[in-house]
Amino acid sequence: MRSKCLSIAVILLIAGLICSNLAVAAEEIENMARNGDFEGGLGEWNLNQGIRGSIATMEIDNKDSAEGKNSVYIKIDVAGADFHTVRIEQTNHKVENNQEYTMSVWLKVEEARNARFHIFDVAGGAPFFTYLSEEFPVDTEWQEYFGTFDAAQDSDNVSISVRIGESDIDMWVDDIKFYEGEYVPSDEQEPEAVEARDKLATTWGNIRVQY
């Protein structure tokens, strides 16, 4: 009887530790990106296009997503001269000097191509102060990509964006996060993709740019 009680106590302790760890993980980040999972439609996000001849549209895709029900499908009819000519963007974010920040996003494409994180200070006006601007390859299967930076100045109006204007290959976007601190892997990652995610953490973990 004592053995059974001990076994039950151990099981309850392990379950409690698991729940505690999950709660801590959930509290580790506070996502400052508004409607980053697109479950509220396209609200809070702008698609800037039409620059230097680029033509693109975005719409909600409720049949293919990295998490939840919705993702955003960006169709690029005409590529522009560079990445900056088509971008999904959100402004009015606040950063503090010397604080570390992370931006992460789930992406997939029809054919392998590159994308670019670009985070800059809108409030200061031109020439814009850039916190992070890094190019990276995107796969044809859903993957999470991230970049980190240490803010070199305060701002009350920072723009976060994924820029994709240099190619006419379409892209899906989901679960955008912007938060204080180092990168925290998303729990949507399938177990078989853990190795790929770890490789990404090794590859993209060094995207730490301070201007």
pLDDT of 152-196, one tens digit each?
Answer: 999 999 999 999 999 999 999 999 999 999 999 986 554 222 233
DSSP annotation of 51: G
With beta carbons less than 8 A apart as the criterion, state whether 95 and 158 touch: yes
Residues 57, 60, 62, CA angle at the centre, nearest 5°?
145
Could you read off the pLDDT of 105-121 as tens digits, one per residue? 999 999 999 999 999 99
CB-neighbour burial class of residue 154 (10 A; exposed 0-12, middle 13-18, buried 19+): middle
Does 130 have pLDDT greater than 60?
yes
pLDDT at residue 186, rounded to an integer = 81
Q: What is the band of 123 on the pLDDT scale with cuts at 50, 70, 90?
A: confident
53 φψ region: left (φ > 0), alpha (ψ -120 to 50), beta (else): left
pTM of the full structure: 0.77
Q: What torsion, rounded to 10 degrees, do the Cα atoms 19, 142, 47, 62 define?
A: -80
Q: Which of 24-38, 136-150, 186-200 bottoms out in mean pLDDT, i.e. has the lowest?
A: 186-200
Q: Which of 34-38, 122-126, 196-200 has the lowest mean pLDDT?
A: 196-200
Instruction: Decide if 123 contacts 95 (C-beta within 8 A).
Output: no
Q: Which of 134, 45, 47, 132 is nearest to 86 (CA)?
A: 47
d(CA 170, CA 57): 10
* Amino acid 3: pLDDT: 53
* Confidence category of residue 11, pLDDT binned at 50, 70, 90: very low
- What does DSSP assign to residue 63? S
| Per-residue model confidence as pLDDT tens digits over 42-69 | 999 999 999 989 999 999 999 999 999 9
Amino acid at 126: A
